[in-house]
Amino acid sequence: MSAPEDERLARVVLSRVVEPGDVRTTGLAAELGATRLLEVLRADDTDHTLLTDLESRAGPVDPVRELERAARLGIRFVIPGDAEWPAGLEDLAWAQPVQERGGVPLGLWVKGEMRLDELAGSLAIVGSRTATSYGGAVAAELAAAGARAGVPVVSGAAYGIDQAGHRGALAAGGRTVAVLACGVDRPYPSGHKVLLDHIRNAGAVVSEAPVGWAPMRVRFLARNRLIAALTRATVVVEAALRSGALNTANWATRLNRTLLGVPGPVTSAPSQGVHQLIRSGAAGLVTSGEEVLESLGSAGAHLLTDPRGPERPRDRLTTRQQQVLDAVPVSRGASTDSIARAAGVGIREVHGALLRLQHWGFVRLDPVGWRLADQAHR
Amino acid sequence: MSAPEDERLARVVLSRVVEPGDVRTTGLAAELGATRLLEVLRADDTDHTLLTDLESRAGPVDPVRELERAARLGIRFVIPGDAEWPAGLEDLAWAQPVQERGGVPLGLWVKGEMRLDELAGSLAIVGSRTATSYGGAVAAELAAAGARAGVPVVSGAAYGIDQAGHRGALAAGGRTVAVLACGVDRPYPSGHKVLLDHIRNAGAVVSEAPVGWAPMRVRFLARNRLIAALTRATVVVEAALRSGALNTANWATRLNRTLLGVPGPVTSAPSQGVHQLIRSGAAGLVTSGEEVLESLGSAGAHLLTDPRGPERPRDRLTTRQQQVLDAVPVSRGASTDSIARAAGVGIREVHGALLRLQHWGFVRLDPVGWRLADQAHR
């Protein structure tokens, strides 16, 4: 299955003239389709802003040549309607924008053979560029655990936690995907040229920005929403209080994705942002790859339930215990004394029986006295 | 105000013949009073267990001599009804026992001038005996922050986190209380003899066990419930997965006290128990003395609320924005297209207005389209 060709060409044009994640364009393109949107833009003479942008930026764009040029570099342009279009990106349609960035991307420029729809169930590992060796080691270990379980690892190819996540997945023979803020033909950061080659070979390098575009601040903000949207869970390994990784975390929350955080020493600045996410309830605390996989597998299944004593059916009680239980009022509390009188049993024996019955969940001790627990009505 | 003298003497007798926190005794003593309980024990010929214990253990106890002997060592016996009896201990009456330990203590043996009722609003700092230097430093800092704010610090005088908590409070000139599993005349552990002298001078040393009794496993379990009950919040600084500090944490939960945990490296065994408490939702994550004090001050007040854009009253909107807003349906989603038609405004201008209105909280974008946010009905 593949999207109509005129729609692809219209999206190439739009992709080259508007910023990634520009909410003015992504929303209308998703709703109207790019072909119709281009018509509207060309016809709408009440507002020239975007057309002016378009003309001053690029002059006329030849989308066929753009696609050919990309193809020569091993780069394809994946758009909604293509078989490999990742369903998760559609959630961006209804998520509230952040700093005017948001919406379903017009398309993704992709280098690498991995199909993007195989990212369903994948894991984002993000964090500080200035990670500690502790953070790097944990990120690599979590990524390796994901890789061993067949879970692709998505990150942003930056220094610090990002690269540790990619490398951990690669070392374990797993698949990994880098989502860039610049064109996928550009090695950024330049020190990661070889790493990006490895990532492309073991997965894919992906960007909303067209071939040749440079990384810019606003493009990182747009990129972060893709990392959250492409994955099922985002784990933040280290992030200082103003780290860009918190922007990705914010997107994970907006997209109802699972958000996880790895704690660290409270004396370590790169852990402070993570601790704040956990404190506020935005992120769950994880300490191991096993716990991360558990969260990926079934959201909420890892929540502990209150430990309770085993329920014992009433007929396994001794006759004496049943006598005492029968003397405990259903709704109002009674003193041990009055239960002893009602049961015709000595007070110390009654007290011992009540403690066993409490342990088994038959009776409760309220401030006003003993009464039946709810389950004892059965 | 002080409790009746016969009641005090009966409690001295019971205190010397039953184990601290023995649920068979604490419950009946709280309900009947110790004087009546002693009568019952002496009269009840259907069950000789406790009386047999009593006789074999101690022979006849002379409570007046016991109190005199304690007084010579600077030790008093505080019981329910005394002015300084801490109200928090009464919560033990309804909390479910753990391993047959529970209930309001018969009384507390106290050495030190601090009144026990001044522990309302105090902070327990507990954790592993085999703490790391990180854990010790954090415990001392949290204790010092408590001390500077006038909050007494309660702990168990053990090696590791306990001693760091006491020392942090002492160094900051604050009050601190040690709750022991042995008699308050015994320096335990023996390496903390000088520390215990300092604690007594700056607060008090307290125990449910009578003068002369040795520390035993079951007495530590009983002691832990007192640390939780005497304080408003318990913070666990480091605790391995089977640490005794988790027993204190469990009591804090049973008593509806605030339970807090300090995270650490996930690679550090003494942090694993704390991480589990936070993961399960039993403990809140804290990273500083400020956060601990915030939790002490008003439980729940530190919970973050969802960040939202500022609410703008409708009359501050431009005429165009009001036109668009008027065209957004109340309950069912509508496309930008249909809103544009309804408003008689160009589609790109409508889209821009909708994004502003969304940012201000007037409209929401659902999977099916734009609709009014709840607050826009006003």
pLDDT digits (tens, 9 = 90+) for B162-181: 999 999 999 999 999 999 99
CA distance A278 to B302: 13
What pLDDT is stored for residue B329 in this prediction?
80
Say what the pLDDT of residue A307 is.
Answer: 33
- Give the pLDDT score at B290: 96
Of A32, A94, A346, which has the smallest distance from its Cβ to B367's Cβ?
A: A94
- Lateral strand order in the sheet of A75-78: A75-78, A108-111, A203-207, A176-180, A153-155, A123-126, A233-236, A258-261, A284-285
Q: What pLDDT score does B138 carry? A: 98
The predicted pLDDT at position A91 comes to 95
In this model, does residue A161 exceed pLDDT 90? yes
Of A100, A52, A29, A40, nearest to B348 by C-alpha is A40
- CB contact B291 to A (< 8 Å): yes
Residue of A266, A295, A303, A349 to mutate for B, most B C-beta atoms under 10 A: A266
- Residue with more model confidence, B257 or B373: B257
Pairing of strands B369-372, B363-366: antiparallel
Bridge partners of residue B342, in order along the sequence:
none
Residue % of chain A over a pLDDT of 70: 90
pLDDT at A360 over 90: no
Q: List the structure tokens of A371.
A: 């009464």
Tens digit of pLDDT for each residue in A115-160? 999 999 999 999 999 999 999 999 999 999 999 999 999 999 999 9
Dist. CA A135–CA A141, nearest whole Å? 10
- Cβ <8 Å between B134 and A348: no
Contacts of B24 in chain A (CB under 8 A): 348, 351-352, 355
Structure tokens at A319: 């006759």
| Mean of pLDDT over chain B | 89
Is B211 in contact with B183 (CB distance < 8 Å)?
Answer: yes
Do B240 and B129 meet the contact criterion of CB atoms below 8 Å apart? no
- Of B51 and A331, more confident: A331
- What confidence score (pLDDT) does residue A375 get? 55
DSSP string, B335-354: -HHHHHHHHTS-HHHHHHHH
Give the side-chain half-sphere CA count within 13 A for A264: 25
Inter-axis angle of helices B289-297 and B133-148, to 10 degrees? Answer: 50
What is the predicted pLDDT for the residue at A53? 57
CB-nearest to A266 from B50, B278, B288 is B288
Is the minimum CB–CB distance between A323 and chain B shorter than 8 Å?
Answer: no
Answer whether B279 sits within 8 Å of A284, measured CB to CB: yes
* Bond into B97 cis (ω within 30): no
Predicted confidence band of residue B49 (pLDDT cuts 50, 70, 90) = low
* Sequence-separated contacts (24+) of A366-370 with Cβ below 8 Å: A366/A333, A366/B94, A367/A333, A367/B93, A367/B94, A368/A332, A368/A333, A369/A332, A369/A333, A369/A334, A369/A335, A369/A336, A370/A328, A370/A329, A370/A333, A370/A334, A370/A335, A370/A336, A370/A339
Nearest-by-Cβ selection for A31 from B138, B335, B352: B335
* pLDDT interval class at B51 (50, 70, 90): low
Task: Compute the mean pLDDT over every residue in chain A, rounded to the nearest whole number.
Answer: 89
Q: Is B330 on the interface with A (CB under 8 A)?
A: no
- Give the DSSP letter of residue B46: T
pLDDT at B46: 58
Q: Alpha-carbon torsion A197, A200, A205, A210, what sign? A: positive
Chain A contact set for B271 (CB, 8 A): 263
Could you say which DSSP state residue B98 is in? B
Least confident of A140-154, B209-223, B259-273: B209-223
Banded model confidence at residue B59, pLDDT cuts 50, 70, 90: low
How far apart (Å, rounded) are the C-alpha atoms in residues A222 and A213?
A: 14
pLDDT of residue A310: 41
Smallest CA–CA separation between A184 and chain B, in Å?
30
For residues B47 and B36, give the distance between their C-alpha atoms in angstroms, rounded to a whole number: 16
* The residue count for chain A: 378
| pLDDT value for B226 | 98
The dihedral region occupied by A310, where left means phi > 0, alpha psi between -120 and 50, and beta the remainder, is beta
Kindly indicate the confidence band of residue A57, based on its pLDDT and cuts at 50, 70 and 90.
Answer: low
Q: Is B338 on the interface with A (CB under 8 A)?
A: no
pLDDT at B106 over 50: yes
Q: Rounded distance, CA A141 to CA A125, Å?
A: 11
Asked whether the predicted pLDDT for residue A332 surpasses 80, the reply is no
pLDDT confidence of A333, banded at 50, 70, 90? confident
User: Residue B54: is its pLDDT beyond 80?
Assistant: no
Q: Determine, for residues B279 and A263 on separate chains, whether the beta-carbon distance falls below 8 Å.
A: no
The DSSP symbol for B334 reads: B
Task: Answer for the pair A27, B351: CB distance below 8 angstroms, yes or no.
Answer: yes
Those residues whose C-beta lies under 8 Å from the C-beta of residue B336, and which sit 6 or more positions away, are: A27, A28, A31, A32, B347, B350, B351, B354, B370
Give the pLDDT band (50/70/90) at residue B310.
very low
Measured over the CA atoms of residue B350, residue B353, residue B358 and residue B363, the dihedral's sign is: negative
pTM for this structure? Answer: 0.81
Distance between CA atoms of residues B219 and B315, nearest Å: 69
B351 interface with A at CB cutoff 8 Å: yes
Q: Give the Cα separation of A280 and B285 in Å (integer).
A: 9
Rg (CA), chain A: 29
Q: What angle, 0 to 180 degrees and rounded to 10, lies between the N-to-C axes of helices B269-279 and B245-254?
A: 20
To test the contact with chain B by mutation, choose from A251, A348, A357, A371 the residue with the greatest count of B C-beta atoms within 10 A, namely A348
Cα A5 from chain centre: 32
- A263 preceded by a cis bond (ω within 30 of 0): no
